[in-house]
Amino acid sequence: MLSPRRGLNKMKVTAPSVQPYLSSMGITVGDESQIVEKEVDEVASLRREHDLVKNANSRKEQEIKKLEEEVENMTMTLHGRMADNSQAKSQMTNIENKSTLYESKLEEELTDRGVYNHMIQRLTREALDAKKATVSKENALESLRHDLASAMYGLLAVRQEKSAAESAYKALYADWWEKKQTNIRALDDLHHAVAQTRLKSDILEAREVSRKKNVQAALGQLKQKETRRLRRESSAQMTHFSEIQEELSDTDRKLIRVEAELKQIIEAAGTNDVDKIISKYVGREETLRALKEEHMVSDARMRKLRDRHKQLNEMLSHLRSAAANSRTIYQEMDQTSERLKETEKEAAVLADKCNRANVLMDAFRACMLKCLTKLSTVHGSLDYDDQHELSRAMETPTPDLLHLMEQKLNRVLDVINREKAERELHRSETTTNPNGSGSGSGSALNGGAPTMDDKPGINQSSVRAPAPSETEEHFILRMASTTASPANFARPAGGVMQLNFTTPVAIPWTTKRPGLFDLTQSE
């Protein structure tokens, strides 16, 4: 089909061709030819539009026909497949249900994804914080390593100082041992010299006694003047002899004091404290100087005593030769010797009493130490070093040991009173909470630890509960003991608790002020 533009170019309308038509219409052809041409052009354009619409309509009609044919075919196939559509519908419903399920799951996953994103952000922040903390810990670890290295260097230095101090201690100990042996030898020599002096004086006294007896049997009386002179000389001799005896007693006391000081030095040197040993070593020159001065003074006094002894012996021999014919002086000397013997007997009795008193004091001290050892088995909430206390008690004098015993008993009484208060508190709690008592009360009271009830072979009534005749203080003291044995304590009638020690001590069970309790030895 030709387009309107192509037909217009080939078929050109002229005025003569349309003139009859125009003349029939009463329109003359002439000046209005242009108008006619315009009209012709408009008609031609309308014709072309008409052709275009017509062609489009024809194409659409053909398409409609094709669609109708396809619809008929589809309806035919649709009617043919109506039997199979039920299964397809069920499948479609299943698919729709699955799709809805998948959509719901997808929504849940989307919500979980938001939660996971939030968790990832939080974990990321925590990881950053952990990384910062790790960096700070690494820095702290590095500083600790530096501190450890410095501490190791310090430890090596301290060990070197310790080895040097030990070597110095060994040298000091060797020096002290040599000085000790020297002092012991000097002391032995001094004892030997004193013993020789005493032996000589005893021999001289025996000779004098025998000579007195011979002179009394052989000689007569002297004149009164000679008697007075001899009495004066005898009194002077006795005064000199008493002075010599006093000097000898002073020497003995000094020797005893020197022996005590030597024992103290031995005890002081037996310590393991390096500082004390070093301080003693620093002061060794002054100590040695003082000992040398004292030794020089003692030697000078011994020389003076020897010279005095020689002079007295010479005077005694002179007096004996001068008083050969006198009996009165010898009678007085015999009376003096008898009084001296009586005095010696009294001194022996007093020495015996003193020895018995020392034995009693030693027994009392041993009893006190045993009491302290037994009382150290009582434990409580008081923090105290029992071993240090016992070692200190071994070196404490007996009067101070009695005060130490008082302090220990006061601490034990404090423990008993505190345990009694805790027991009263627990009893009030158990009375206010009756549901908590029963089979599980022991485990709740002890924090789940095994008690004495779980151990076979132990009398539970004697360990877990007080006896009918036993007071609560005695029960607390028995339970506070490490042995927890009822045989360690006995509660007799009369309100006195007796501890079954090797040497029994009866303690009145009364809480008093410190230093006012009674301590008596039980028979």
pLDDT 10s digits, 495-505:
434 444 333 33
Element (H, E) at 276: helix 274-282
Q: Would you state the structure tokens that stand for residue 358, as one six-digit string? A: 């020392």
- Residue 152 CA, distance from chain mean position: 23
Which residues are 505's β-sheet partners?
499, 521
DSSP-derived 3-state class of residue 14: coil
Give the CA radius of gyration of the chain.
67
199 Cβ contact list (under 8 Å, min separation 6): none
Q: Is the pLDDT of residue 254 over 60?
A: yes
pLDDT at 271 (0 to 100):
61
At 523 the pLDDT is 33
Q: What is the pLDDT of residues 394-430, one digit of tens each?
A: 777 877 877 888 888 888 888 888 888 888 888 888 8
| Exposure string over 285-319, b if 16+ CB within 10 A, otherwise e | eeeeeeeeeeeeebeeebeebeeebeebeeeeeeb
Helix, strand, or coil (residue 11): coil
Q: What confidence category does residue 379 fall into, taking pLDDT thresholds of 50, 70 and 90?
A: low
Model confidence at 12: pLDDT above 70: no
Kindly write down the DSSP assignment for every residue of 130-180, as one continuous string.
Answer: HHHHHHHHHHHHHHHHHHHHHHHHHHHHHHHHHHHHHHHHHHHHHHHHHHH
DSSP three-state, residue 506: strand
Predicted confidence band of residue 264 (pLDDT cuts 50, 70, 90): low
Q: Cβ(45)–Cβ(4) under 8 Å? A: yes
Specify the pLDDT at position 305: 81
Residues in the chain: 523
- Angle between helix 398-432 and 386-394 (nearest 10): 160
The pTM (predicted TM-score) of the whole model is 0.25
CA 25, CA 445: separation in Å to the nearest integer? 137
d(CA 515, CA 407): 8
Question: Closest Cα to residue 274, out of 158, 182, 391?
Answer: 158
Average pLDDT over residues 14-35: 61
Query: pLDDT for 471-481, tens place per residue?
Result: 655 665 555 55
Identify the sign of the CA torsion 324, 328, 332, 335: positive
Q: Check residue 223 and give its pLDDT.
A: 56
Segments making up each domain of the chain, as ranges: 4-80, 183-366, 374-429+457-521
What pLDDT does 134 receive?
A: 84
453 in Cβ contact with 460 (< 8 Å): yes
Q: Are 317 and 219 in contact (CB under 8 A)?
A: no
Given a cut of 60, whether residue 381 has pLDDT beyond it is: no
Confidence band of 92 (pLDDT split at 50, 70, 90):
confident
Q: What pLDDT does residue 520 have?
A: 38
Mean pLDDT of the chain: 70
The residue with greater pLDDT, 392 or 269, is: 392
Phi, psi of 458 (to 5 degrees): -120, 130
pLDDT in tens, 339-361: 888 888 888 888 888 888 888 87
Average pLDDT estimate for 184-193: 83
Q: What band does 265 get if pLDDT is binned at 50, 70 and 90?
A: low
Residue with tokens 């805790």: 422
In the 8-state DSSP scheme, what is residue 107?
H
Confidence (pLDDT) at 373: 81
Report which DSSP code applies to 458.
S
Residue 12 identity (one-letter amino acid): K
Written in H, E and C, the secondary structure of 211-280 is: HHHHHHHHCCCCCHHHHHHHHHHHHHHHHHHHHHHHHHHHHHHHHHHHHHHHHHHHHHHCCCCHHHHHHH
Q: What percent of the chain has pLDDT over 70?
A: 63
Nearest partner of 255 among 209, 312, 186, 201, judged by Cα:
186
Task: State whether residue 3 is helix, strand or coil.
Answer: coil
Measured at the alpha carbon of residue 348, what is the angle toward residues 343 and 351, in degrees to the nearest 5?
125
Q: Which one has a higher pLDDT value, 434 or 363?
A: 363
pLDDT at 465: 54
Pick the range with the lowest mean pLDDT from 38-47, 60-69, 70-79, 382-391. 382-391
Strand partners, 442: none
Q: What is the DSSP letter of 327?
A: S
Rounded mean pLDDT, 462-490: 51
More confident call, 328 vs 203: 203
What pLDDT shows up at residue 487?
40
Between the ranges 244-258, 322-336, 346-360, where is the mean pLDDT highest? 346-360
- Averaged pLDDT for residues 164-173: 83
Higher confidence at residue 236 or residue 414? 414
Structure tokens, 24: 């029939």
d(CA 401, CA 519): 13
Q: pLDDT at position 20, please?
A: 63
Please give the Cα distance from 206 to 196 (Å, whole number).
15
Q: What is the mean pLDDT of residues 97-107?
A: 84
d(CA 253, CA 270): 26
Supply the DSSP string of 343-376, one letter for each residue. HHHHHHHHHHHHHHHHHHHHHHHHHHHHHHHHHT
pLDDT exceeds cutoff 80 at 46: yes
Residue 125 has pLDDT above 80, yes or no: yes
Nearest by Cα to 507 from 358, 362, 401, 374: 374
